[in-house]
Amino acid sequence: MQARQPRVRFGSPANTIQGRNTVPRQTLDYLKTLLSFSSVSSESNLAITDQVDVWLQELGFQTERTAWIDHNGVTKCNVVGRLGSDLESGLAWCGHTDVVPVDSWSFAAADPWTAYVTADRVYGRGSCDMKGPVACMLGALAAMDRSSLKKTFWFAATADEEVGMLGARRLVSDSVFYREIVRTDTPMIIGEPTELRVVCAHKGGRTINVDSQGTAAHSSTGLGNNSNFALIPFLQEVLALRNEMESSAAWIDHRFTPPTTSLNLLLHDNNSGINITSSESGCRIFFRPMPGQDADAAVCRLMQVATECGLQAELVFSSEPLDTPADSPFIQELQQLSGGSPPATAAYGTDGAILTELSQVAVIGPGSIAQAHTDDEWIALDQLDRGTEFFRQCVQHWCC
């Protein structure tokens, strides 16, 4: 389990730092502290959740934590805050605190867990995806008169978004506060980096694992059973499905770039010798369905063919597309607050793929997805400044 780090408390948010951009001191302080937690998805996120919980309570939130033990025996936790407990529900915001691993890091000036501030950027793992947006939302709340709220504001920080939106799934199954958000169909912002452009729709996902069993033997004896041969007719079906998805109108949606499901195939074989028959091999198939497409029918088709070929197949990941109408009042109001750019779509997925009980969900936050997961990850100070002000305006608009 990750060691607990000291909890940090902040004072007045009134100060700002000066550079080529002006960023609220509070937002930058929040981000520096968040970046100091090595909250990789494979580790416990209790320490960073403790910190966010402390900050929310300092800001006047009532908080709810839901914890669980993951399949590796590691403790994980979500925290949801409610500000204005006796008020009509106004707006919800969701962000994740986990980050992808640091397999390499090319920014030599600082390690990935130490915020490094230049004239126009902050470097560090998660600075863009998505500790920067989390810091902006906290900074926005700290900077405003929270006693003026006339409607409830909800803040959710989830675990394990990067490894299958597992925290969001627990939010759906375990959180009493989330049930109240659903009951009132509260509009929700997913704060992922979009350069502050409203994303009203994104793709979902399906992953299927397929295993083939054979018998290992020296290939000269004729006694083995090569597991790869059973895969061949199945892979022909995968290719046929992929070709349909690239050409059939039923699988194409030109709102997205690319407009197809981008079916991808990975092969594996445990064999290390050309003179040995493979005893175990298989493949993994992943595709990204878009709104209105029958992804489950495609899954059933592949599962049936796998069975006919004597293979073992399992659906190991499933998430739904996000699709909030671009002309809905929620999206239109967000568009106006963010500067008027037309709503966009995204090829990636977010926690919004799991929070499907809500009818009013949009993805918008500071930072560019181009910087996410990179080995010199950074977020622009200008985006932190604009993101803090945008989130403040959102809370003001829907809750005050």
In the chain, the amino acid numbered 356 is T
Predicted confidence pLDDT, tens digits, the chain (400 residues): 333 344 444 333 333 333 335 788 999 999 999 999 999 999 999 999 999 999 999 999 999 999 999 999 999 999 999 999 888 999 999 999 999 999 999 999 999 999 999 999 999 999 999 999 999 999 999 999 999 999 999 999 999 999 999 999 999 999 999 999 999 999 999 999 999 999 999 999 999 999 999 999 999 999 999 999 999 999 999 999 999 999 999 999 999 999 999 999 999 998 989 999 999 999 999 999 999 999 999 999 999 999 999 999 999 999 999 999 999 999 999 999 999 889 999 999 999 999 999 999 999 999 999 999 999 999 999 999 999 999 999 999 999 9
- Phi and psi at 173, nearest 5°, equal -85, -25
Helix axes 46-58, 131-143, angle to 10 degrees: 20
CA of 227: how far to CAs of 9, 57, 223, in Å?
Answer: 59, 57, 13
- Phi and psi at 253, nearest 5°, equal -135, 105
Pairing between β-strand 199-202 and β-strand 344-346 as defined by DSSP bridges: parallel
Distance in angstroms (rounded) separating the CA atoms of residues 253 and 284: 24
Q: In what order do the strands lie in the sheet with 378-380?
A: 116-117, 121-123, 378-380
267: helix, strand or coil: strand
Cα Rg, the chain, nearest whole Å: 23
Instruction: Identify whether the C-beta of residue 193 lies closer than 8 Å to the C-beta of residue 368.
Output: yes
Span between the terminal Cα atoms of the chain, in Å: 41
pLDDT score for 14: 32
Farthest-apart Cα atoms in the chain, separation: 82
pTM over 0.85? The answer is yes
Q: Which of 260, 263, 287, 265 is nearest to 204 (CA)?
A: 287
Which strand (E) or helix (H) includes residue 75?
Answer: strand 75-83
In the chain, the amino acid numbered 384 is L
pLDDT score for 86: 85
Distance in angstroms (rounded) separating the CA atoms of residues 320 and 356: 8
pLDDT score for 85: 81
Q: Name all contacts of 236-243 with Cβ < 8 Å and 24+ positions apart.
A: 237/301, 237/302, 237/305, 238/263, 238/265, 238/283, 238/285, 238/302, 241/298, 241/301, 241/302
Distance in angstroms (rounded) separating the CA atoms of residues 117 and 102: 19
Whats the size of the chain, residue-wise? 400
Domains belonging to the chain, first-starting first, are 16-202+321-399 (3.40.630.10), 205-319 (3.30.70.360)
Question: What token pair was written down for 389?
Answer: 């002000």
pLDDT score for 11: 36
